[in-house]
A and B are shown apart, each in its own frame.
Chain A
Amino acid sequence: MENNLEQAFQAKIDREEKIEPKDWMPEAYRKTLIRQISQHAHSEIVGMLPEGNWITRAPSLRRKVALMAKVQDEAGHGLYLYSACETLGINRDTLYEQLHDGTAKYSSIFNYPTLTWADIGAIGWLVDGAAIMNQVPLCRCSYGPYARAMVRVCKEESFHQRQGFEILLTLSKGSDEQKNMLQDAVNRWWWPSVMMFGPSDKDSPHTARSMNWKIKRFTNDELRQKFVDVCYEQAKVLNVKLPDEDIKWNEERGHYDFGAIDWDEFWQVVKGNGPCNKQRVAARKKAWDDGAWVREAALAHSNKRSERLKNKKVA
């Protein structure tokens, strides 16, 4: 019985039909999606923290309104994704708990600090650039609610990348101090961004299954290569050097070769030992705990009002 269901499920995916919340799905498919979508949602929410750090210090009103709109978008993206995740039968508070107690992960990139204003530009260019590369194929993911949420996210994400690039472009035409600030930000954000695509394919045991289920459309290494190729050309416009001595065009492959990734650093940050892991989770927990009375009061108020309404009807 289970076998027949599983075959029908796979056949449906192979026909490029979407899976919807009430359709039968293998438990492993459900679990994989809950893990991936919640991790994605948490990344959007935690991603507000490094950028929020610069809102009050944005260099002009134009930059400030743009950054505020961007951070608000990240909150929105988190909410689209949480609601997509909830269609798989897990509730919101459980998702938050998993973030707060560390059982759920978020993208390691947000465990790096934003030291200068140029970092806000670098995040837009590189971090959002890598995110877009990851997210565009997810618009065709086999799970309907996730795919639909990603369509919305991608539409908004392009503004993020452009505003980041514009910040860097301005710095690239500025004083020596500004140019140095730009190069320094690129030096610090480049490798963590390259790592955003996750472990290398040979160390990513679930890739094949996720590709088969059409949750993933490209492997981590395929997307990473695409990112390097695109960024190398874009860096020329900014007149910056990517901090990789080994990066060079490979005629045969038709791609840029690039240097070895420091996977020790990657796993250290994933395990919680990055520069800002503790700070990020602490800020998130504090916001949740400090808001508890508001959530309780709103619920109590609403319950009281509906009680009153009921009593009025009886009388």
Chain B
Amino acid sequence: MDNNWPLWEVFIRSKSGLHHKHVGSLHAVDAEMAIQNARDVYTRRSEGVSIWVVASSNITASNPENGEALFDPANDKVYRHPTFYNLPDELKHI
């Protein structure tokens, strides 16, 4: 029998106003214990003001092999960037 406790991914907001950021993972039997463990493992020096834990099994990730299909189409759409547009230098506040 597999006695490994489930794996959880831990996300920490380092201070309010910032996104939660992935910091690592840990094992815990449930979400509550995962939060407690995350506090001990990842915030011993005031690294955070908020913690998210997500069961790793609930995360769906894109496959690196599909990277080209997913992300390359953006490369030839330069018109999505402000620098694509030629405007005179004397134009201000734009």
Binding site for B on A (CB under 8 A): 20, 22-24, 69, 72-73, 76, 79-80, 83-84, 86-87, 91-93, 145, 148-149, 156, 295-296, 298-299, 301-302, 305-306
A93 and B29 form a contact (CB under 8 A):
no
Q: Can you give 11 contacting A-B residue pairs, CB < 8 Å?
A: A79-B26, A79-B41, A86-B7, A86-B25, A93-B4, A148-B24, A296-B3, A298-B29, A301-B29, A302-B33, A305-B30
Residues on the A chain within 8 Å of B24, using CB: 80, 83-84, 145, 148-149
Closest-by-CB residue of A relative to B29 is A302
User: How big is the B interface, by class?
Assistant: 10 to 19
B64 and A22 form a contact (CB under 8 A):
yes
B45 within 8 A of A: yes
Give the contacts of B1-18 with A (CB-CB under 8 A).
3-5, 7
B63 within 8 A of A: yes
Instruction: Provide the bound-state CA to CA distance between A302 and B31, in Å.
Output: 10
Instruction: Provide the bound-state CA to CA distance between A22 and B64, in Å.
Output: 7
Instruction: Provide the bound-state CA to CA distance between A93 and B5, in Å.
Output: 9
Binding site for A on B (CB under 8 A): 3-5, 7, 24-27, 29-30, 33, 40-41, 44-45, 61, 63-65
Instruction: Provide the bound-state CA to CA distance between A74 and B7, in Å.
Output: 21
Residues on the A chain within 8 Å of B64, using CB: 20, 22-24
Closest-by-CB residue of B relative to A20 is B64
What is the distance, in angstroms, from A151's C-beta to the closest C-beta of chain B?
11
Residues on the A chain within 8 Å of B29, using CB: 298-299, 301-302
Given A79-B26, A80-B41: A295 and B5 interface contact (C-beta under 8 Å): yes
Closest-by-CB residue of A relative to B47 is A152
Residues on the B chain within 8 Å of A295, using CB: 3, 5
Closest-by-CB residue of B relative to A300 is B29
Given A20-B64, A22-B63, A83-B26: A298 and B41 interface contact (C-beta under 8 Å): no
Given A23-B64, A298-B33, A299-B29: A73 and B44 interface contact (C-beta under 8 Å): yes
- Among B4, B27, B30, B45, point to the contact of A156 (Cβ < 8 A): B45
Instruction: Provide the bound-state CA to CA distance between A35 and B44, in Å.
Output: 28
- Among B3, B30, B44, point to the contact of A72 (Cβ < 8 A): B44
Instruction: Give 8 closest A-B pairs by Cβ, nearest first.
Output: A302-B29, A83-B25, A298-B29, A302-B30, A83-B24, A23-B64, A79-B41, A22-B64
What is the distance, in angstroms, from A308's C-beta to the closest C-beta of chain B?
13
Given A22-B64, A299-B3: A92 and B44 interface contact (C-beta under 8 Å): no
Instruction: Provide the bound-state CA to CA distance between A306 and B64, in Å.
Output: 34
What is the distance, in angstroms, from A231's C-beta to the closest C-beta of chain B?
27
Instruction: Provide the bound-state CA to CA distance between A197 and B69, in Å.
Output: 45
Residues on the A chain within 8 Å of B41, using CB: 76, 79-80
Instruction: Provide the bound-state CA to CA distance between A16 and B41, in Å.
Output: 29
